[in-house]
């Protein structure tokens, strides 16, 4: 093929201690569509992924189940691959980070970085569980927040006031593993000198690849610039002490690579395993002088690790750097974070077990995705309506309405329609739609394809083949019209084939062709080509199916510990931070509530839930974000209102929107909508409440 590209693509590695849910599927569907599109265009494109299998959580989960970590990750690997396969994710290789290839490359990269003076050792003080005889990672220590004194907070940040700290800063810390009071113990750790890589990273993060496109999306590049301009990058601790499930550091007994070092190396390991299996040259894709393209699809929450750590590790250990890192946002359901109690924390397995067609979800997610780092919402009513309208009503019905006439009246044989105006209108959009796929603007591609489907359906209504079939002497026109419709269906099916791979296979069988690749978007079936009998390609979604799915995913949260805020924070709207799932009176009286005057309230661009408040507290002005946009469609009406604000919470970074300097109090009204708590006339800004 002329100008054939060589491309290697990865998705982020799902962790091996939990089920795959629809949030994971957003990323893997996004990646799979892009890979299928590239293959459809004739490029040499490979898609590799793996389970991320190392770390203390895996070790402890296995102990709890009474099995070895190896048994746990083997079981999980089978479950994950089954879920992904059920959703049509077409990996060329799905592997594991607990593999000889990953051990080899992790050690090799570490030794190369060490030889390049990028590894140093430091003695650090770390909390140690005297009962379990193990050093405790941040999330395995709890205690009292040193800032707001909330109880039962994790060792890296406070869920109440948002403060970040070291686990050694906790008051009255205890081990989550045993409940014992940890002791301070000195240990030697190894650090990757990320601080030495700042100049390289500034150049890389702001630069373009060999194809002339940016390494990072605009939002990601801006975020990297923020991190890089704030001063010296901190060196990265790559060590964990025994006991630990992972790879031991060469020549360092009882010292293990931190899981985030060997996890991205898993991309290399999975590809090496594929190379050995099918005879590819690893260095053609990962070598320093590689001319191939390398792309990572990831969630926005792990951008830091990929754009900084991973890229620097590759560059300073003698390998090529990525051509591009594509980050996406999170998935919400019906406008809110996925929730176990509401049944919207939907696992892939439950979706498949309830008998819902995975290509419904592939289509809906594709129709929402673009190239930006934006959260997307699965609105369940819209999901039903859009799939039924677009896929069944507009697309599949084209073939259903024309095939019967072709079979019964013309023995399944088609006329030549290469000069049809309708077909020309469809084929001339091929390169535009291809560019949308290439740029990951799937929503634009879907809109254009459905606009073409509307055009075809207008043609059906204008020509009314069911009436032509009743007219004497209209056979030739009927044959022409139905042949055009079958060819139009073929072109639309080819356009949708990266999104609907199973339907594409079934459509190719119906059309009696080998496959639906991109070449089928600009071609017609020849004179006298025979199609096969039409078999129904897609059913409508019934509301009861979605209701059953939600019921299947509801989980009883009554038995969960009331202090486990992080397990239930998904139940709160965006922008709302719970004071505590349970707090004492002593905790409550520490909350400083003040009357505040709303100077200005406005919607937040890029968010459907947040309002931005500029408040006068009497003694100063502050900006606070609140997730109550649904209750106030005209936010300017709140200007001048006197509200209640909590003013002694630590400032909280609100993703890409800015910093929220407190919290505004609201409560649910009789309709379940959050409404601001207002105060009596005569109250002044700055007055204490309570």
Neighbours of 340 (CB within 10 A): 17
Q: How many Cα atoms are found within 13 Å in the side-chain-facing hemisphere of 587? A: 17
Contacts of 661 (CB under 8 A, 6+ apart): 622, 623, 624, 651
Q: Is 243 in contact with 204 (CB distance < 8 Å)?
A: no
> Residues 420, 426, 428, CA angle at the centre, nearest 5°?
100
Neighbours of 61 (CB within 10 A): 19
Residue 340 among known ligand-binding residues: yes
243, exposed or middle or buried, with CB in 10 Å at 0-12, 13-18, 19+?
Answer: middle
* Distance (Å, whole) CA 82 – CA 89: 10
Closest CA to 84 of 36, 33, 28, 30: 28
Partners of residue 192 on adjacent β-strands = 119, 236
471, exposed or middle or buried, with CB in 10 Å at 0-12, 13-18, 19+?
Answer: exposed
Q: Is 285 in contact with 173 (CB distance < 8 Å)?
A: no
Q: Residue 32, SS3?
A: helix
Residue 601 among known ligand-binding residues: no
Provide, for the chain, the percentages of residues in helix, strand and coil under a 3-state DSSP scheme, each rounded to the nearest 5.
40, 20, 40
DSSP string, 227-258: HHHTSSPPPEE-EEESS-SSPBPTT-TTEEE-
Q: Is cis: bond before 125, omega within 30 of 0? A: no
Residue 45 among known ligand-binding residues: no
Closest CA to 463 of 446, 476, 481: 481
* Distance (Å, whole) CA 643 – CA 625: 13
Residue 158 among known ligand-binding residues: yes
DSSP state of 540: P
SS3 letters across 87-140: CCCCCCEEEECCCHHHHHHHHHHHHHHHHCCCEEEEEEEEEEECCCCEECCHHH
* Distance (Å, whole) CA 373 – CA 326: 8
543, exposed or middle or buried, with CB in 10 Å at 0-12, 13-18, 19+?
Answer: exposed
Annotated binding site for Zn(2+): 145, 148, 158, 161
Annotated binding site: 145, 148, 158, 161, 340
Annotated binding site for ATP: 340
């Amino acid at each position: 093929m002329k100008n054939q590209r060589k491309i290697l693509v990865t998705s982020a590695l799902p962790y091996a201690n939990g089920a795959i849910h629809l949030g994971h599927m957003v990323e893997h569907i996004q990646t799979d569509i892009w890979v299928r599109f590239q293959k459809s265009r004739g490029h040499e494109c490979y898609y590799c992924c793996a389970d991320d299998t190392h770390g203390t959580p895996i070790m402890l989960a296995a102990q709890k189940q009474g099995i070895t970590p190896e048994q746990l990750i083997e079981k999980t690997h089978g479950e994950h691959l089954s879920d992904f396969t059920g959703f049509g994710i077409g990996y060329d290789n799905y592997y594991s980070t607990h593999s000889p290839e990953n051990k080899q490359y992790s050690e090799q990269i570490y030794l190369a970085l060490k030889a390049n003076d990028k590894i140093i050792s430091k003695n650090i003080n770390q909390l140690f569980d005297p009962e379990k005889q193990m050093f405790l990672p941040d999330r395995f220590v709890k205690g009292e927040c040193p800032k707001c004194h909330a109880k039962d907070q994790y060792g890296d940040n406070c869920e109440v006031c948002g403060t970040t700290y070291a686990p050694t800063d906790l008051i009255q810390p205890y081990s989550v593993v045993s409940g014992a009071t940890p002791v301070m113990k000195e240990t030697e750790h190894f650090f990757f000198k990320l601080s030495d890589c700042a100049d390289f990273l500034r150049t890389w993060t702001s630069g373009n690849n060999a194809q002339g496109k940016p390494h990072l999306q605009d939002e990601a590049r801006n975020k990297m610039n923020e991190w890089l301009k704030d001063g010296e990058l901190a060196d990265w601790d790559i060590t964990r002490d025994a006991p630990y499930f992972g790879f031991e550091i060469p020549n360092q007994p009882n010292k293990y690579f931190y899981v985030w070092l060997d996890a991205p190396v898993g991309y290399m390991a999975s590809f090496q395993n594929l190379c050995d299996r099918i005879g590819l040259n690893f260095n053609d894709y990962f070598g320093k002088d590689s001319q191939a393209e390398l792309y990572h699809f990831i969630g926005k929450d792990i951008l830091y690790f990929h754009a900084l750590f991973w890229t620097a590790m590759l560059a300073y250990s003698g390998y090529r750097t990525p051509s591009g890192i594509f980050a996406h946002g999170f998935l919400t359901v019906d406008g809110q974070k996925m929730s176990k109690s509401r049944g919207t924390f939907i696992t892939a397995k439950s979706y498949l077990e309830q008998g819902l067609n995975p290509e419904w979800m592939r289509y809906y997610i594709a129709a929402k995705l673009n190239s930006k780092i934006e959260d997307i919402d699965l609105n369940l009513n819209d999901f039903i309506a859009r799939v039924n309208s677009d896929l069944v009503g507009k697309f599949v019905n084209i073939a259903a309405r024309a095939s019967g006439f072709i079979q019964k009246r013309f023995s399944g044989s088609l006329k030549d329609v290469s000069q049809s105006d309708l077909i020309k209108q469809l084929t001339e959009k091929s390169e535009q739609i291809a560019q949308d796929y290439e740029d990951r603007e799937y929503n634009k591609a879907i809109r254009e394809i459905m606009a073409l489907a509307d055009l075809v359906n207008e043609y059906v209504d204008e020509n009314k083949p069911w009436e032509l079939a009743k007219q004497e002497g209209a056979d030739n026109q009927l044959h022409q019209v139905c042949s055009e419709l079958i060819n139009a269906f073929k072109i639309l099916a080819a356009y949708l084939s990266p999104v609907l791979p199973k339907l594409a296979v079934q459509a190719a069988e119906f059309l009696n062709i080998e496959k639906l690749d991109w070449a089928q978007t600009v071609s017609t079936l020849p004179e006298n080509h025979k199609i096969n009998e039409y078999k129904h390609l897609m059913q409508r979604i019934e509301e009861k199916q979605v209701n059953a799915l939600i019921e299947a995913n509801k989980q009883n949260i009554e038995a969960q510990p009331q202090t486990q805020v992080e397990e239930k924070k998904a139940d709160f709207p965006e922008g709302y931070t719970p004071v505590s799932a349970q707090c004492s009176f002593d905790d409550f009286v520490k909350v400083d509530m003040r009357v505040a005057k709303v100077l200005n309230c406005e919607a937040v661009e890029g968010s459907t839930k947040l309002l931005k408040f500029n408040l006068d507290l009497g003694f100063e002005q502050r900006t606070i974000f609140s997730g109550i946009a649904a209750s106030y469609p005209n936010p300017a009406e709140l200007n001048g209102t006197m509200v209640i604000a909590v003013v002694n919470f630590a400032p909280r970074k609100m993703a890409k929107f800015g910093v929220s300097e407190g919290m505004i109090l609201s409560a649910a009204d009789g309709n379940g909508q959050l409404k601001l708590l207002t105060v009596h006339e005569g109250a002044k800004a700055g007055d204490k409440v309570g």
